[in-house]
């Protein structure tokens, strides 16, 4: 099989060497070159024609943002950002600009600690290998119609939903921004989100969503009450589950176990919500690699909840939504531009 060709762009010689060695340890990967700034990166892309580029955001001459814009618009090359958690807001800006994913670099990136990212880097590169990013379809100004399963009957839902639980991974941050910015007012249901993300990024992500949404959005802490109009983002690297405390529903933040392949886990979140809310909840599965959420949507459906999944046409990676749809439990498959409204339509609002 033809090797997957990667170009490494970083202004630190140590980082370039270390990242290159980690990539070369992966099957099917060939590091074809490296660059110390964006201008050199462009020249190397033209000369070497890589399949993937890793990019540091802070570089001299031409920074990572300018390079990213050129790579995604002119060359349509998948980009993985490798950046420190202290640059979280910059990372989310890069994702909005078209970066496929990011890897959290240790705060002291030019030290042996950089080797700690190897497993995460390998997973992100495998994601790109398994599902090359599709070119964005031309915007015709029309929203693709939702695909509705025959068993879904909106007329049969007499009670409005009280909770929306959302799962997302690769491509999730800009997808969630699209959904929450699609509302011009808050609504009387709570929202809980499991977005696969490492520790150190979710607080900044919640703050970013809070600025663009009429809902109140924040990173969840242990003991938070789930209430209408509030969006709680599971903290990176931890699990968030719900439990009843008297007449209230509260959040519990738990440490991962050896069984948790994805963090925060959508399966654990969905499974904890289902017996509490039953028919009064909705689960939404967005873009992402893997099958997190698959078991959870089964439990939600067993309790009478509604399930939405993002369609292949808009998903950056059609892994999680495909696995959810394969269960037969999904009620409506919707392209990203229609999800905000579908939550209201299917939720009785």
Q: Is 116 a catalytic residue?
A: no
Question: Do residues 233 and 195 touch, judged by C-beta distance below 8 A?
Answer: yes
Catalytic site includes residue 196: yes
Helices (H), 198-293: 202-212, 266-277
Residue 169 annotated in active site: yes
Question: Could you give the CA distance from residue 185 to residue 182 in angstroms, rounded to a whole number?
Answer: 9
| Residue among 15, 131, 196, 265 flagged as catalytic | 196
Q: 33 - beta bridge partners? A: 7
Residue 297 exposure: Cα atoms within 13 Å on the Cβ side: 27
Distances (CA, A) of 285 to 53, 304, 322, 327: 28, 17, 9, 12
The candidate with the shortest Cα–Cα distance to 55, out of 85, 28, 35, is 35
State the Cα angle at 30 between 27 and 36, rounded to 5°.
130
Which residue is catalytic, options 20, 83, 131, 169?
A: 169
How many beta carbons lie within 10 A of that of residue 258, not counting itself? 5
Evaluate whether 310 touches 319 at the Cβ level (below 8 Å).
Answer: no
Q: What is the 3 state secondary structure string of 41-94?
A: HHHHHHHHCCCEEEECCCCCCCCHHHHHHHHHHHHCCCEEEEEEHHHHHHHHHH
- The residue from 83, 292, 311, 314 that is catalytic is 292
Q: For residue 48, give Cα distances in angstroms to 12, 31, 32, 299.
A: 21, 10, 7, 48
Please give the positions annotated as active site: 169, 196, 292
């Amino acid at each position: 099989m033809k090797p997957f060709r990667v170009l490494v762009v970083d202004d630190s010689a140590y980082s370039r060497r270390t990242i290159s060695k980690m990539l070369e340890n992966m099957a099917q990967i060939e590091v074809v070159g490296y660059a110390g700034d964006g201008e050199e990166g462009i020249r190397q892309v033209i000369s070497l024609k890589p399949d993937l580029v890793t990019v540091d955001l802070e570089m001299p001459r031409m920074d990572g943002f300018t390079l990213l814009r050129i790579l995604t618009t002119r060359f349509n090359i998948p980009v993985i950002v490798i950046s420190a958690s202290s640059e979280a807001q910059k990372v989310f800006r890069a994702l909005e600009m078209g970066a496929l994913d990011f890897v959290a670099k240790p705060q002291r990136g030019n030290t042996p600690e950089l080797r700690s990212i190897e497993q995460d880097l390998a997973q992100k590169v495998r994601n790109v290998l398994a599902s090359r990013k599709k070119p964005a379809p031309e915007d015709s100004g029309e929203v693709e119609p939702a695909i509705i399963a025959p068993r879904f009957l909106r007329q049969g839902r007499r009670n409005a939903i009280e909770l929306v639980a959302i799962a997302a991974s690769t491509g999730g941050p800009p997808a969630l921004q699209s959904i929450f910015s699609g509302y011009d007012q808050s609504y009387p249901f709570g929202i809980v989100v499991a977005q696969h993300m490492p520790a150190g990024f979710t607080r900044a992500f919640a703050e970013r969503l809070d600025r663009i949404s009429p809902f109140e959005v924040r990173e969840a802490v242990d003991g938070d009450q789930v209430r209408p109009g509030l969006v709680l983002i599971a903290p990176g690297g931890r699990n968030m589950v719900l439990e009843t405390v008297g007449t209230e529903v509260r959040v519990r933040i738990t440490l991962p176990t050896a069984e948790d392949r994805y963090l925060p886990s959508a399966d654990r979140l969905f499974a904890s919500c289902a017996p509490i809310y039953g028919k009064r909840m909705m689960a939404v599965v967005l873009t992402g690699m893997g099958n997190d959420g698959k078991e959870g949507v089964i439990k939600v459906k067993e309790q009478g909840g509604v399930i939405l999944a993002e369609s292949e046409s808009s998903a950056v990676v059609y892994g999680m939504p495909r696995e959810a749809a394969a269960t037969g439990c999904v009620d409506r498959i919707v392209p990203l531009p229609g999800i905000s409204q579908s939550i209201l339509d299917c939720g009785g609002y």
